[in-house]
Structure 1
Amino acid sequence: MSTEWKLFADLAEHAGDKHVTVDAAAGDTVGDALEDLLDDRPALEERVLDDDGELRSQINVLRNGTNVLVEAKGLETELEGDDELALFPPVSGG
Structure 2
Amino acid sequence: MRIEFEAYATIRDAVGQGTVRMEFPEDATLGEALRAFADDHDGVAPLVFDGDGEIRPNVNVLHNDENVRAGAGTKTGLSDGDTVTLAPGIAGGSV
Place the TM-score, normalised by the shorter chain, in its bin: 0.7 to 0.9
- Going from structure 1 to structure 2, the CA distance change for 1:47 and 1:60 (only over 3 Å counts) comes to same
Provide the secondary structure at the position in 1 that maps to 2:86: strand
Q: Which runs of 5+ in 2 are unaligned?
A: none
Q: Which has the larger radius of gyration?
A: 2
Provide the secondary structure at the position in 2 that maps to 1:42: coil
Identity among equivalent positions (%) equals 33
Distance across 1 between alignment mates of 2:81 and 2:67:
17
Distance across 1 between alignment mates of 2:90 and 2:66:
15
CA displacement 1:33-63 (0-9 Å, x = unmatched): 1011011323111111112222111111111
Q: Which runs of 5+ in 1 are unaligned?
A: none
Residue 6 of structure 2 is aligned to residue 6 of structure 1:
yes
Distance across 1 between alignment mates of 2:59 and 2:26:
23
Distance across 1 between alignment mates of 2:8 and 2:90:
11
State TM-score, norm by structure 2. 0.84
* Residue in structure 1 matched with residue 60 of structure 2 by the alignment: 60
Distance across 2 between alignment mates of 1:64 and 1:25:
18
* Residue in structure 2 matched with residue 19 of structure 1 by the alignment: 19
Number of residues paired by the alignment?
A: 93
Per-residue deviation, 1:76? 0.3
State TM-score, norm by structure 1. 0.85
- Going from structure 1 to structure 2, the CA distance change for 1:25 and 1:65 (only over 3 Å counts) comes to farther
